[in-house]
Chain A
Amino acid sequence: MDQGSLLDHFAQVRRQVITLCSAKRFSAAQMLLVGSGLSVADAPGLWEHIARRAAQAGHDPIAHEVRKTIWQAGGNSAALSLQEAAYFLNNKDHENCIFVIEGQFGPTPNNIEAHEFLTRAYLMQAQSARSARQIRTKKDIAHRLTKGLTPRSPAHAMAAIDLLRFCGSFERAIALNEMAQRLFPQDVRFLMRNTRMLEQKGQFSAAIPIWQSIAETSDRYRIEALLRLHRLQERLELIKDADETAAHLLTLNLPIENRLILALHLGLPHLVQSVARLIAQGGPKDAPITFEQGQKIGEALLDHGEIGLLVWLRRQRLPLSDQVKVILDQCAFGEPTGPAMPDSFDVAAKILSPDFMLPLEGFASRPPKPPGWPGSRKTPGRILLVNASLKAGGAERQFVSLIKSMIDQGVPKDTIDVAFFSLETDRDMDRFLPDLADTGVTIHDLSQRIVHNPALPKDVERVLSALPIEMRNDLRPLWHLISEVRPNVLHGWQDRAAISCGLAGYLTDTERVVLSTRNMSPATRRDKKLRKAKALFADFAKRENYTLTANSELGAQDYIKWLSLEKDLVKPLRNIVDVRQFETVLRGRKPKDIDTPITIGGVFRLALNKRPLLWLNTVSALRELLDRPIKPVIFGDGPMREAILTEAKALGCDDLEIISSESAPTKIYSQIDALLLMSRVEGLPNVMLEAQAAGLPVAACEVGGVREAAQKRGDARALLLPAQIEAKEAAEKIANWLPTALSAKPDARVGFVRTHFGPKATIDPVLEIYCGRDKG
């Protein structure tokens, strides 16, 4: 073909392509171009024209096919890449979107549109890879993509903020969110994100008024805001406010899935059943349940362990997500390998997770163990200790003390691994991490561990996927860690870790499992969530290679009563207090002048169970009775901070000092002259032991393990107050006791702690348990 003919041919093809595209006949245009013999190299403009016009007209698959042809011919351009990335993003193909953008623009695009696509694609990747609906993003990617960013759209901003949130970088996320609020002031979603991040950082009080404001001003997000508000009020133990919010929500005509979620959150089983009965009938007649609602209902029931209701509603043909259906299929209700299929709503409502899996031998079908397994050992072997976090708390401090003492007693540090569900700095989950790191043990942050092969064996997945969400989220990374570390001993510290370790120990055939509770039973503590694990704890307690411990005799008895166990099935495992660390406090203490104020200290979480208002009223009444000035100081933080300050003002205790930042025991006890506890519930209060180790007089209401923690002889004896007592009466008793107690020599107190709670007294029984010698 000569030049002129070629041009004629091109012009003719061009005219026809444009005509066909104008008529929205994009396939015909594409075929014409292919048939004309004009390749991408010959006529790139025509190919791009079809791709562009098809995309504009919403014919994405054709546009994508044409772009692919151009791409394969090496004709990729920035514009084409952006179109292709947008196509992949719309089709939730985050991997190809990332490939196209990074291939064209690099890992940190300067092109702002490309940057948005890449950010959204990475968030989508994290969402699709989430385990048990827990999203985790990678910190390096999040930081790289958000450094110096000015987002171009609300979607861009939200994706960037979420990338930061979900890798635990809350400060950066908050800063970016503030910028987004300035850039997009009408978009309430940034306000909501800001509030959620405040919650994630533990700043609950600050989040409350924002949710209130959203509930009042936003029709669209009112219900969500009220639900969040209610959760916060419950968390902060603002019971009256929480009830009012819940009652208000209940009077609203909530969509059925929100009604169920509210009922589940309130933890009222009869209310849950009442709503579930309506769901079983297809929901309200004027608003039949949609697929999306069914999915939410299914996931909410699964997350709260209401597996029986879920099975029943599936039988009533509630639309469920594929994921939930797979989980129910794995449970195999009504099949020879699974639990019985409930034959009525009432029966179904009683089937709860994890109880329905018990005994685990039937549900998890692990291979049988040889007779005599696991036997006893001379040394513990490899030890994995697990706790939720290292936030500032007595149990966390005890956890670190236990590990230190074990090493002091000769357990090699390279045989000890320690794992935490979270160590996020921004949320102060790592308060004692430096102390622990000093011991040289191997530390694992389960929230940040990368698991290269996340697939689980079928029997493990069967158990894990049907657990309530908190247990599910904890158990998955723990199982992977145990499978890698292969410890001989698995030790779960506090109830949350104990539940996960109990399950994981069984699922990994770990030789010895030790579960240490650190308080009174969940029934006594009125902990609704943990009460769900009652049957599980009872099952663990009866296992030959499991040992349940409590940190006080009374705590052990309380668990035995709660779980209806034989009397020796929960062993007391006392706290460890090394009196040597308080020697400087003891030495530094000097007699005070008559005019110098006596500092009455409280060391506790500012929560209802600790009765801080009673504490404050008692100190206030004490001031009236003593002829010496009194200075009240509280070390701690918590939901009742504001209420305490208000009460202090009302009582005229303006000099009350609340110190939230101090956690070093020596610094705390060097600032006070006597310790006062007025708690409603206690395990074995560590602060009592520490105060006495520092030589201080202690007075406390006699609840839980308080009596066990008190030195009861001579002038240096502790004062035990009745569990139920008025402030005035308590103050009178303290006034009678305090002068003698202050002038008494501290030796008896220190000696008491050394004898009963010294490292050796506690570690020897622990090692006996680890070696399996406690079972006789």
Chain B
Amino acid sequence: MLKTSASTRRIGIVGNPHDPMGQLLEDQPHRADDVFFPLVDPADADNSLDEIVVLSQADALGHFPALLASSTPITIILRRHSIGQNSPDWQQSYKLLLAGLNEAQPPHIALCALTDEAVHSFVKVADHNISQLPPLVPTRQVETTFPIDRSASETTFFLVNSDGSREARRAEHAAFNWVKLRRLANLRAVDRDDQDLCDLVELANETRTSSTQSPTSKPLKMLAVVPNGVGLGHITRMMALAKALQANGETEVIFWCFSRAAEILQAAGYQIILRQTAAHLGAHPPDWRALETQEFALAIQTLKPDLVSYDGAMIDPFVFNALKMPGCGRTAFLWVRRGMLRPDSDPLFMENEQFADLILEPGDLAVEVDKGPTRTRQADKRGFSQHFTSAPVSLAITLPSYTRREAKAQMNLGWGKHCIVSLGGAFGDWDRLEALLIKHAHANGVKLIWAQSPLAAPPRSSELLVRRLFPLSRYLPGIDGVVTATGYNSFHELMLTYDKPVLFAPTNHVRMDDQASRARYAAAQGWASVAFSDRPEDMDQQIATFMKQVKSGTSVSNRPKQSLDQRDFYKRIQSVASRYHASTLVGAAE
């Protein structure tokens, strides 16, 4: 478990961990440095807690004996009628609470309510010393209004863009941490009978400032979640983006890494927090998710990143669950989502757009043939997300390469022509391909080097030289040809930085992108040749031709050159992250 520093106040939260009230605690001025812990049973609270906040009178009643026995100061936040309750429930639970308090007379328990009106409502039911919650830190005026109706799960609203244009958007209102939400929109309670919602909205909206003071610049901090995907794509792309940010400003990047190839990140000098998936642990998924949510939320509270990023299509809900936990509301979410998905991919995953502040689609040179859902469909629930398609992202662009001599020396290669075979991770049926490559390489006097993936088994043939080469691009000057799968990173690395013959061998795994279309597109442009494993009859001739090109030292000059504008990317990220900077907002209020 991540540790907090000794100077922070530790606050136990009793109640629904996604209760907007619990989320808004982070915006109380005196709680700026507090760290919040969900407290399922107050009887478990050790003396390390500085305060316990109970989010409703019902939660207090549920744990009443433990709260009475506690020696920690306790604040019970009284709540009025909300949807899902019978109308007199809030009064009954308040009266029960008072009856219990009157019986025990505990000196360490204080009551408060959200608004002045709420305080009066409670006092009217039964008189007691109830204080009003302090105002939250001010937020800037915004144009967008976000209506909330808790009897419906979704909300439709008009997002007012910076140019004043209005765009209809939908979202689940429970998708947001209210600390974030109150900075993105003016909130409006649709159902006036939902008094608790009205109180929450009043509390969230009441402190607005019209100050247009520009954000103070501060180093950027990104917590990058790397899933345990197929191949090295996620890691490579996130490293490329991390380097792009670091190249343009002071940026700290920490990886929350599920990938078995975490060693690559470590070797590159990044701080990593190595995690295990439920499958790795053989754990019951709901248990694992609950634990991962708490750990990730604690990491966010202690590391205080400006943004959390995630590269991949399928995002585990623990990420969103954690971002909705108390203390995690000032962190933006960047979703890095490449295109070129297979046309038959289920588009449901796109509904996660509502959770994102920025969706970065790394450009694909083969975008013309992209028939996947990210190109042909639009998410129904997009929330406040902005979408940005960049030029292609490649780690190779950001790294210096060896010279031909250095590369050969690093790979311990002698004279002659060398061709690298890099077929990526654990997927693909390459037995036939491997046999034909060996045959034609031998016929043309080309030596084959097997680029060993940390995620894959070594080749079957003992005739091949095996090398661990990451990132591959650094070694390319010493190589005369490349046979590779057609994943996003390999494809763009080679097309953007390499001018020797390339043979693409696309994989057709259901969890992967549409590599066949990408490879076919490259072949049609004359950038590379392609061998399909499901067309063995053509393979022999294609490989023979390719090996002849390698042997002859052929160069390809028409490959494209455009790549990510790093400066622009940095600015966009900084702009998104600064929306939630606490210091900026407090400064604006001054």
Contact = CB atoms under 8 A, between A and B. Distances in A.
Interface stretch (A274-282, A681-689, A744-752): A274-282
B86 A247 contact: no
A247 B103 contact: yes
Interface in B293-349: 317, 321
B540 interface: no
Interface string A268-302: 11110111011011001110000000000000000
Contact of B100 (A251, A253, A269, A528): A251
B100 A250 contact: yes
A281 B59 contact: no
B41 A251 contact: no
A266 B62 CA distance: 12
A545 to B, nearest CB: 29
B198 to A, nearest CB: 17
Contacts of B174: 346
Contacts of A266: 92, 96
A273 B65 CA distance: 17
Interface residues of A, number: 38
A275 B96 contact: no
Contact of B96 (A246, A270, A284): A246
B402 interface: no
B524 interface: no
Contacts of A273: 16, 58
A6 to B, nearest CB: 70
Contacts of B85: 268-270
Contact of A274 (B59, B95, B286): B59
Contact of B40 (A267, A277, A343, A344): A277
A248 B68 CA distance: 13
Given A251-B65, A284-B43, A268 B103 contact: no
Interface residues of B, number: 40
A286 B43 contact: yes
Contacts of A655: none
A274 B89 contact: no
B523 to A, nearest CB: 43
Interface string A254-272: 1000010001001111110
Contact of A250 (B56, B61, B84, B286): B61
Nearest to B174: A346
For the residues of B in contact with A, the DSSP-based class is helix
A343 B320 CA distance: 13
Contacts of A285: 41, 43-44
Contacts of A650: none
Contact of A270 (B56, B87, B88, B286): B56
A229 to B, nearest CB: 15
A247 B100 contact: yes
A237 B472 CA distance: 79
A281 B43 CA distance: 13
A273 B89 CA distance: 14
Contact of B65 (A253, A280, A350): A253
Interface string B78-99: 0000001111110011011111
A243 B56 contact: no
A759 to B, nearest CB: 39
Contacts of A243: 92, 95-96, 99
Nearest to B287: A316
Given A243-B92, A528-B86, A346 B61 contact: no
A346 B18 contact: yes
Contact of B93 (A252, A253, A271, A344): A271
A350 B317 contact: no
B581 interface: no
A252 B286 contact: no
A14 B18 CA distance: 78
B116 to A, nearest CB: 23
Given A247-B103, A251-B103, A274 B61 contact: yes
- Central interface residue in A268, A280, A344, A346, by most chain B CB within 10 Å: A268
A733 interface: no
A531 interface: yes
Contact of A269 (B89, B95, B287, B317): B89
Interface in B1-23: 14-16, 18
A244 B58 contact: no
Interface string B29-43: 000000000001101
Nearest to B14: A274
Nearest to B98: A247
Contacts of A449: none
B63 interface: yes
Nearest to A343: B317
Contacts of A343: 317
- Central interface residue in A269, A274, A284, A344, by most chain B CB within 10 Å: A274
B575 to A, nearest CB: 32
Given A243-B95, A243-B96, A284-B43, A346 B16 contact: yes
Contacts of A251: 64-65, 68, 100, 103-104
A25 interface: no
Given A252-B65, A271-B61, A275-B62, A281 B40 contact: yes
Interface string A618-653: 000000000000000000000000000000000000
Contacts of A316: 286-287
Contacts of A248: 99-100, 103
Nearest to A279: B40
A133 B259 CA distance: 52
A252 B65 CA distance: 6
A564 to B, nearest CB: 10
Nearest to B64: A250
Interface string B92-120: 11011111100110000000000000000
A268 B84 CA distance: 10
B540 to A, nearest CB: 46
B65 A274 contact: no
Contacts of B86: 267, 526, 528, 531
Contacts of B284: 315, 317
Interface in A305-349: 315-317, 343-344, 346
Nearest to B102: A247
Contact of B59 (A252, A270, A315): A270
Contacts of A528: 86
Nearest to A317: B284
A315 B84 contact: no
Interface in A158-214: none
A253 B66 CA distance: 8
A274 B41 contact: no
A269 B84 contact: yes
B62 A271 contact: yes
Contacts of B14: 274
Contact of B62 (A252, A259, A346): A259
Given A270-B85, A285-B44, A247 B62 contact: no
B190 to A, nearest CB: 15
- Central interface residue in B68, B85, B96, by most chain A CB within 10 Å: B96
Interface string A111-147: 0000000000000000000000000000000000000
Nearest 7 interchain pairs by C-beta:
A274-B62, A247-B99, A270-B58, A271-B58, A253-B65, A247-B100, A281-B40
Given A247-B99, A268-B85, A271-B62, 14 more contacts: A250-B100, A270-B58, A270-B89, A271-B58, A271-B59, A274-B59, A274-B62, A274-B63, A277-B40, A278-B41, A278-B62, A284-B43, A284-B66, A343-B317
Interface of A: 243-244, 246-248, 250-254, 259, 263, 266-271, 273-275, 277-278, 280-281, 284-286, 315-317, 343-344, 346, 350, 526, 528, 531
16 contacts: A243-B96, A243-B99, A247-B99, A247-B103, A251-B100, A267-B86, A268-B93, A277-B62, A278-B40, A278-B41, A278-B62, A281-B40, A284-B41, A285-B41, A315-B284, A526-B86
Interface of B: 14-16, 18, 40-41, 43-44, 56, 58-59, 61-66, 68, 84-89, 92-93, 95-100, 103-104, 174, 284, 286-287, 317, 321
